[in-house]
């Protein structure tokens, strides 16, 4: 039973850390919000893996004010009424995927959004940039166990990334197509194929209270962050905020395409439905 190891880990924590865990769990209970009602709606900050969600989560933690103390980086709960909680994490609507909350969990969240006591903030990015980021993450993690959260921690420039992609294109294609051979020996479900990833993005865009393009934060992070502030009805003086832009380059797949001819052929060979969905998001190929 999974609960036994959790209890053992809890018992080994110092008393101060145990008290902190108890406080965090108490705040997440339905009873807490009945005793301490507020005029907020539960916020779910969701992005598919490789979407730039973590950057925006850090902006919220650093700049949203007092409500930041209610932010938890996981999506484990569904609340039957409004709370001040902010949950940040990965989730899917249709397909079961490694590293992302199950569709059954997301379905309950969407139900709360429809009932008006929760908001879904969805972060998305050009799917081809996400595809490259996710391929780099998973191939390194499966080989070494290391979690590399940025492509640029591994490759100095698009020349290096393009050369690596060209050398290992069969592996990349297996990843992009959701080929079980790529996930041999990995416990749990495989990760999304590229077409599934694009479809999931479209489904979230149809359901989100607020959709945020990661690339727009690269242009004007304050303008985009103000949308979150407005949605949460937080009283902040935005004029005093100075927000750092993401370090990631926008649309870097274009430069990689020039360096890796097989990747270019992969893009040209996308099925019509996937291409339609990408263009409907406002992105080119």
Q: Does residue 157 share a domain with residue 45? A: no
Q: Does residue 174 share a domain with residue 53? A: no
Whether 27 is covered by a domain: the verdict is no
Q: What CA–CA distance (Å, rounded) separates 73 from 50?
A: 15
Distances (CA, A) of 217 to 83, 124, 246, 249: 27, 11, 7, 11
Q: Does residue 72 share a domain with residue 122? A: yes
Q: Does residue 266 share a domain with residue 134? A: yes
Q: Does residue 228 share a domain with residue 176? A: no
Per-residue pLDDT 10s for the chain (285 aa) are 455 666 567 567 676 656 666 566 656 666 655 655 677 899 999 999 999 999 999 999 999 988 998 898 888 767 888 888 899 999 999 999 998 999 999 999 999 999 999 999 999 999 999 999 999 989 888 887 777 766 666 777 788 888 899 999 999 999 999 999 898 878 889 999 999 999 999 999 999 999 999 999 999 999 999 999 999 999 888 888 889 999 888 999 999 999 999 999 999 999 999 999 999 999 999
CB 267 within 8 A of CB 165: no
Burial degree of 254 (CB within 10 A; 0-12, 13-18, 19+): middle
Whether 270 is covered by a domain: the verdict is yes
Max distance between CA atoms of the chain, in angstroms, equals: 61
Q: Does residue 253 share a domain with residue 158? A: yes
184-220 pLDDT, tens per residue? Answer: 878 889 999 999 999 999 999 999 999 999 999 999 9
Q: Does residue 98 share a domain with residue 51? A: yes
**How many residues would you count in the chain?**
285
Q: How far apart are the first and last CA of the chain?
A: 47
Phi and psi at 75, nearest 5°, equal -125, 75
Burial degree of 209 (CB within 10 A; 0-12, 13-18, 19+): middle
Whether 7 is covered by a domain: the verdict is no
Residue 109: which CATH number?
3.40.50.300
Sign of CA dihedral 185, 187, 189, 194: negative
Q: Does residue 257 share a domain with residue 117? A: no
Strands of the sheet with 210-213, listed across from one edge: 71-72, 86-89, 42-47, 118-124, 210-213
Q: Does residue 230 share a domain with residue 109? A: yes
Number of domains in the chain: 2
Q: What CA–CA distance (Å, rounded) separates 108 from 134?
A: 27
Give the burial string for 140-150 (b: 16+ CB within 10 Å, else e). Answer: eeeeeeeebee
Q: Does residue 232 share a domain with residue 133? A: no
Task: Provide CB contacts within 8 A for 126, sequence distance 6+.
Answer: 215, 250, 251, 253, 278, 283
Domain that holds residue 42: 38-126+196-240
Angle of helix 158-167 versus helix 127-144 axis, rounded to 10: 70
Whether 17 is covered by a domain: the verdict is no
Whether 19 is covered by a domain: the verdict is no
Whether 28 is covered by a domain: the verdict is no
Q: Does residue 120 share a domain with residue 148? A: no
Distances (CA, A) of 171 to 61, 145, 279: 37, 18, 26
Closest CA to 214 of 43, 101, 54, 60: 54
Whether 285 is covered by a domain: the verdict is no
Whether 3 is covered by a domain: the verdict is no
Task: Provide CB contacts within 8 A for 203, sequence distance 6+.
Answer: 93, 94
Q: What CA–CA distance (Å, rounded) separates 110 from 94?
A: 12
Q: Does residue 147 share a domain with residue 80? A: no
CB 199 within 8 A of CB 94: yes
């Amino acid at each position: 039973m999974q609960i036994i190891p959790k209890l053992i880990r809890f018992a080994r924590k110092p008393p101060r850390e145990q008290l902190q865990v108890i406080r965090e769990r108490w705040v997440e209970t339905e009873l807490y919000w009945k005793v301490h009602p507020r005029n907020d709606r539960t916020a779910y900050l969701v992005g598919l893996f490789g979407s730039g969600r973590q950057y925006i989560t850090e902006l919220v933690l650093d700049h949203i004010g007092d409500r930041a103390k209610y932010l938890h980086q996981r999506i484990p709960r569904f609340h039957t009424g409004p709370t001040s909680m902010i949950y940040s994490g990965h989730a899917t609507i249709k397909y079961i995927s490694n590293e992302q909350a199950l569709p059954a969990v997301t379905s309950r969240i969407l139900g709360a959004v429809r009932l008006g006591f929760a908001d879904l903030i969805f972060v998305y990015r050009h799917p081809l940039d996400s595809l490259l980021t996710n391929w780099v993450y998973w191939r390194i993690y499966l080989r070494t166990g290391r979690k590399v959260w940025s492509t640029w921690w591994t490759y100095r420039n698009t020349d290096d990334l393009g050369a690596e992609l060209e050398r290992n294109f069969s592996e990349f294609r297996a990843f992009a197509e959701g080929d079980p051979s790529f996930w041999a020996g990995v416990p749990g479900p495989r990760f999304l194929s590229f077409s599934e990833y694009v479809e999931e993005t479209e489904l979230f865009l149809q359901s989100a209270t607020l959709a945020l393009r990661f690339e727009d934060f690269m242009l004007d992070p304050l303008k985009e962050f103000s949308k979150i502030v407005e949605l949460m009805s937080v009283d902040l003086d935005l004029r005093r905020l100075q927000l750092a832009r993401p370090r990631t380059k926008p649309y870097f797949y274009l430069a990689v395409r020039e360096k890796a001819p097989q990747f270019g052929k992969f893009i040209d060979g996308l099925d019509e439905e996937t291409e339609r969905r990408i263009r409907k998001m406002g992105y080119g190929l």
